[in-house]
Structure 1
Amino acid sequence: MKFFYFFGFILWLAATLFFRIAGHYILVPNVLILTMTFLVTIPLIITVTFPLYKFKKLNNDNIMKAALSIALPGMLLDIISFLNFNTVFPNLQANGSTYFGAWLLFAYSLILMTGFIKISTDKKA
């Protein structure tokens, strides 16, 4: 599972850098933009998790462990991000923390949900 912890760290780092650079464009008090941000997250999470589970040929029991291992580093590191929100995300407005927090809960929930979905990693399926 070390690989998935590392992958979770890289995913957290990429998302943190993305929101540090471009978060002020998508975490704004605009229902359409926020809705699109949340909707785009669904295929993004599917794209970065399921192919990885298949590539690593995980059985369904190990997929749950992998999903937890992917989510955990970011969940822990985002504690630091939130405690230093204005420093880590200087481009985001004050209300951006609310939208960002909601998005994080949504994204981590999606990652964890991928652990409950049974997939076939058998090439014959």
Structure 2
Amino acid sequence: MSMRVNRVAEQMKKELGDIIGQRLKDPRIGFVTVTDVEVTGDLQQATIYISVLGKDSEKEASLEGLKKAKGFIRSEIGKRIRLRKTPEIDFAFDESVAYGNRIESLLRDVKEDESDN
């Protein structure tokens, strides 16, 4: 991946934290953390990976709220980052956080089983 694509992704991640945290007023959107941004090499598409605290229903509601605010978020990014064309954005859950927690939980269980023996 080129340095420019990396820079754009990092800048978007930084700005998204501010936009989602400060500018969005949708009550469905809970405590959202932008964990990663992947931008295609041609800077046309960006996938924004998020993690959300709460129950599954709250997570889904937050994702819906973000998808509804896509146009606003994209225009805010366009104002803040100087690009000829602002990438189309899409949101997805970052499954790596849940995966990591699951592994940690399994390791804890194994350790407890060993200490019981």
TM-score (norm 2): 0.34
Largest Rg, 1 or 2: 2
**Structure richer in strand, relative to its length:** 2
Higher relative contact order (CA 8 A, sep 6+): 1
**Structure richer in helix, relative to its length:** 1
